[in-house]
A and B are shown apart, each in its own frame.
Chain A
Amino acid sequence: EVQLVQSGAEVKKPGESLKISCKGSGYSFTSYWIGWVRQMPGKGLEWMGIIYPGDSDTRYSPSFQGQVTISADKSISTAYLQWSSLKASDTAMYYCVRPQSYGYWNTYWYFDLWGRGTLVTVSS
């Protein structure tokens, strides 16, 4: 089965670091871009950025550039989203997403595969 399996919910304090994960299975992990989408409580969807695990080329939305780091370990088919210093405003659901089409040059990023989401709560 083709799926994205995300790590579990996290509760952190402001200033702490965090790395959440997304493991792809049932498809060639290195042949598809894989990205992250944020959904703050009661709000809409925001595209954060995307990585091509085959060569680690990473693109960020301007809104998230410098705020988070996206990485991938192709040896274990896992993508990551990390923060060095969390803020209360980082409280949100974070979805891992994969575009429908494969290949590095296919940058038509609409997403037919979604993880179930990782809820991150940042509170003192």
Chain B
Amino acid sequence: EIVLTQSPATLSLSPGERATLSCGASQSVSSSYLAWYQQKPGLAPRLLIYDASSRATGIPDRFSGSGSGTDFTLTISRLEPEDFAVYYCQQYGSSPQGTFGQGTRLEIK
């Protein structure tokens, strides 16, 4: 089973700054089958990125994903106030599909 490790656990930044969130896999993720989600308090998660770098419908272009193999990155180019939330990565290329990382909390500095 692939284990996903996200870093850092908490990231403190100010609006307007660039955010870089990492997701490391214990084994290579097949065909870059990795997704990123955003979750705000009291709400269900929202899909941001799939296939490592494809933005989901309606997601602003300040969100971008990159990476392959065992190292993946979610970048938010210029933080807006509404971007402060918890972010999760998920792999879906290897059984059991659907495993999530433990999350990165992006908080306002």
Binding site for B on A (CB under 8 A): 35, 37, 44-47, 50, 59-62, 95, 100, 107-112, 114-117
Residues in A with CB closer than 8 Å to B57 are 112
Contact count A vs B, C-beta below 8 Å: 63
Q: If A44-B101, A47-B98, A116-B44 touch, does A108 touch B92 (CB 8 Å cutoff)?
A: yes
Residues in A with CB closer than 8 Å to B100 are 44-47
Q: Once the chains bind, are B56 and A109 in contact (CB under 8 Å)? A: no
Number of B residues near A (Cβ < 8 Å) is: 24
Residues in A with CB closer than 8 Å to B96 are 47, 59-62
Residues in A with CB closer than 8 Å to B88 are 44-45
Residues in B with CB closer than 8 Å to A46 are 100
Whose C-beta in chain A lies nearest to the C-beta of B93? A108
Cβ of B72 < 8 Å from any Cβ of A?
no
Chain B nearest Cβ from A58, distance in angstroms: 13
Q: Once the chains bind, are B44 and A110 in contact (CB under 8 Å)? A: no
Q: Given the complex of chains A and B, what is the CA–CA distance between A116 and B46 in angstroms?
A: 11
Identify which of A44, A60, A95 gathers the most chain B CB atoms within 10 Å of its CB.
A44
Q: Once the chains bind, are B103 and A100 in contact (CB under 8 Å)? A: no
Q: Once the chains bind, are A109 and B44 in contact (CB under 8 Å)? A: no
What 10 pairs across the A-B complex have the smallest Cβ distances? A47-B98, A110-B35, A114-B44, A45-B100, A112-B47, A44-B103, A110-B50, A109-B92, A109-B97, A61-B96
Q: Given the complex of chains A and B, what is the CA–CA distance between A111 and B45 in angstroms?
A: 9
Whose C-beta in chain A lies nearest to the C-beta of B95? A59
Contact of B90 among A110, A115, A116 (CB under 8 A): A110
Q: Once the chains bind, are B33 and A47 in contact (CB under 8 Å)? A: no
